[in-house]
Amino acid sequence: MTDQSITSVSRESRAFKPSAEFKAQANLGSEATYKRLYAESVNSPEKFWSRQAKELLVWRKPFRSVVKWNAPHAEWFGGGMLNVAENCLDRHLGTARENKAALIFEGEPGDVRTITYKQLHFHVCRLAHVFENLNVGKGDRVAIYMPMVPEAVVAMLACARVGAIHTVVFGGFSSESLKDRINDCGAKLVITADGGWRRGKVVELKKTVDEALEHTPSVQTVLVLRRCKNEINMQEGRDIWWHEAWEGAPNHHKAKAFPSEHPLFILYTSGSTGKPKGVLHTSAGYLLGCKLSSQYVFDLKESDLYFCSADIGWITGHSYVVYGLLSNGATVFLYEGAPNEPGPDRFWRMIDRHGITIFYTAPTAIRAFMRWGDNYVLSHQLSSLRLLGSVGEPINPEAWMWYHRMIGKKRCPIVDTWWQTETGSIMITPLPGVTTCKPGSATRPFFGVVPKVVDEKGKEVPKGQGGKLVITKPWPSMLRTLWGDDRRYQQTYFSEYPGIYFTGDGARQDKDGYFWIVGRIDDVLNISGHRLGTAEVESALVAHPAVAEAAAVGRPDDLKGQSLVCFVTLKSGIEATEDLKQKLRAHVAKEIGALARPDSIRFAAALPKTRSGKIMRRILKEIAVGGEVKGDTTTLEDFTVVATLQAED
Ligand code: 7RM
């Protein structure tokens, strides 16, 4: 074993075969079909993707080439022209879907709205006219800073319709973060709302926009949606009300066609250091990746009601609330607020109230549900659910089992989907009805995806051994560059192994070829020469009945290189005692071996997380070393968590 390889210690051996019932109705119903299509997609990608693109997308002008790969730059569907909004809306008009619900919205206060495809089309057309009146069009950047309301989706699609590039900034970000993002892309228009509802209170979005806009010379106009009716300041000559601006705008709009590679959006993603990276996605390839994966991974049926709890400010909201689902003519359920408002059973209440059939959420949320207690779940039926999904982090087997038993009632397949902002769409995932699932594994590659686990030199490591996860072939929905910084694009993703996409994740493949993500490479622990993924230690901790959530970090140690410090939050009602610390250390040693026995356990009321729920281990590392938290904290969900941890130090 070389110094750099990653030791993998997981011993998970449970496996769940698809039920005969699910299999019989699945969109991709057999292993043989998966194998055949997968083989075609990687052996004859041009043939595969050309067929998919013709079948799934509406083209104004057919493409002449499928892919031109001049590493690290890709051109997909060269010569083709299309309109992304038309592919999500107009194509359903005049079909049976015309009067089908596109969006079913529930606001945090409980207000419900249903918007059909025809109505959504009207809304988008009207807003497209507003944009054109404001001289916002092809290539202009538009920042969207809104609550999770239907108008946020309308704003995104109206941008796509006129060829403007949207950058959605999550509504929880500070004025500072918003300002940086607006300035980085030079946005001309900002779309916001007076406020949004969160935990029973109004989040004053417009106020934050006003602060940010003190230092954003590119912004000419602010379009303001009235949502909460809180009092706001409207700046003469700059700010206009949505409802006034679109008064009288026609509800039909002739959409222009744009080239396949026309930029669709920029989405900023936090680097572990330095300024956020503006990931750029373009039109045809991105849409195709989202549409194809939605169809098979979520096994979409005409009658489904699909709920993804991600905010549209995250890539999951772009790909699997908006583009992948609407292009498929699905009905998407949108929820504005917090999962525990007014009580910890809000999601289960909504699932029963609306008859939601597909539910896609993050492991961090699942662990919160577990911590809140089973009774909140057991008081609801959840009988409409037929498929569950997970995304954002490795799902620890304990949480997987709980999700399977408590939410899925052992009846629903779980798709653990691995992908990134950069990949645009799902890359490694079970296919429901086909793939035998193993709790904690994202299982196998989706069509066209060629992932490998490699060592420092780029050589594939033997099965069972950990290494770095790379993707060796281009795929349609891959990012095209980082906005304004192509050098950083090349350096970040294509310099570790020239010409090959480096994901930044550590992984291992088991003997069946299944992929297990062991965590970010930047976070890998180095204990007495053993490099261990954070997920493996954390998953062992969370398997203990007292533990709700855990984060493992390395602290420099003269003797061992690093010593292992684990931050642990306990389930409600469990007392934090010295004795429990010792028990947890022993538990980890027993589960995965003495090498991983934590040197120190620290109980914490909460762990620092990003807005999308990823634990920020970088911050915990700084706390473990005893120093101040210095790095960028603008993507933190709640800074008080850090303050508390530091105070306890
Ligand atoms: C969709 C999204 C990307 C990073 C990625 C991983 C981690 C996401 C899984 C996962 C294990 C999963 N985009 N990650 N999904 N790890 N299993 N199913 O999360 O850009 O915000 O994050 O998230 O580390 O590199 S993202």
Substitution candidate for ligand 1 out of 366, 420, 514, 523 with most atoms within 8 A of CB = 420
Look at residue 221 and tell me whether its pLDDT is greater than 60.
yes
Q: What's the gap in Å between 523 CA and the centre of ligand 1?
A: 14
pLDDT bracket for residue 558 (50, 70, 90): confident
Q: For residue 343, give the nearest of 307, 392, 393, 380 by alpha carbon.
A: 380
Q: Tell whether ligand 1 has an atom less than 6 A from the beta carbon of residue 423.
A: no
Q: For residue 154, give the nearest of 359, 260, 263, 312 by alpha carbon.
A: 312
DSSP letter at 405 equals I
Q: Tell whether ligand 1 has an atom less than 6 A from the beta carbon of residue 440.
A: no
Q: What is each CA distance from 551 to 397, 398, 623, in whole angstroms?
A: 15, 15, 12
pLDDT bracket for residue 627 (50, 70, 90): confident
Q: Which atom of ligand 1 is nearest to the CA of 503?
A: 25
Q: Tell whether ligand 1 has an atom less than 6 A from the beta carbon of residue 416.
A: yes
pLDDT bracket for residue 647 (50, 70, 90): confident
Q: Tell whether ligand 1 has an atom less than 6 A from the beta carbon of residue 169.
A: no
List the structure tokens of 178: 């918003």
pLDDT tens for 403-426 read: 999 999 999 999 999 999 999 999
Lowest mean pLDDT among 4-13, 156-165, 188-197, 581-590: 4-13
Q: Tell whether ligand 1 has an atom less than 6 A from the beta carbon of residue 364.
A: no
Ligand 1: which residue has its CA nearest to atom 18?
418
- As a dihedral over the C-alpha atoms of residue 550, residue 555, residue 557, residue 562, rounded to 10 degrees, the angle is 60
Q: d(Cα 632, Cα 477) in Å, to the nearest integer?
A: 29
Look at residue 1 and tell me whether its pLDDT is greater than 50.
no
Ligand 1: which residue has its CA nearest to atom 4?
420
Q: What's the gap in Å between 237 CA and the centre of ligand 1?
A: 42
Which residue matches tokens 């998919």? 52
Q: Tell whether ligand 1 has an atom less than 6 A from the beta carbon of residue 615.
A: no
Phi-psi region of 547 (alpha: psi -120 to 50; beta: other; left: phi over 0): beta
Lowest mean pLDDT among 174-188, 340-354, 408-422, 547-561: 547-561
| Residue type at 420 in one-letter notation | Q
Q: Tell whether ligand 1 has an atom less than 6 A from the beta carbon of residue 417.
A: yes
* Structure confidence at residue 610 (pLDDT): 85
pLDDT tens for 81-119 read: 999 999 999 999 999 999 999 999 999 999 999 999 999
Q: What's the gap in Å between 306 CA and the centre of ligand 1?
A: 21
* Structure confidence at residue 4 (pLDDT): 63
Q: Which residues pair with 198 in a beta bridge?
A: 201
Within 10 Å of residue 41's Cβ, how many Cβ atoms?
Answer: 22
Round to the nearest angstrom and report the end-to-end CA distance of the chain: 37
Q: Tell whether ligand 1 has an atom less than 6 A from the beta carbon of residue 145.
A: no
* Structure confidence at residue 2 (pLDDT): 44
Q: Tell whether ligand 1 has an atom less than 6 A from the beta carbon of residue 75.
A: no
Domains for the chain: give ranges and CATH numbers.
544-648 (3.30.300.30)
pLDDT bracket for residue 132 (50, 70, 90): very high
What average pLDDT does range 468-492 have in this prediction? 97
| Residue type at 399 in one-letter notation | A
Q: Tell whether ligand 1 has an atom less than 6 A from the beta carbon of residue 535.
A: no
Ligand 1: which residue has its CA nearest to atom 8?
392
Ligand 1: which residue has its CA nearest to atom 2?
420
Ligand 1: which residue has its CA nearest to atom 17?
394
Q: d(Cα 571, Cα 537) in Å, to the nearest integer?
A: 18
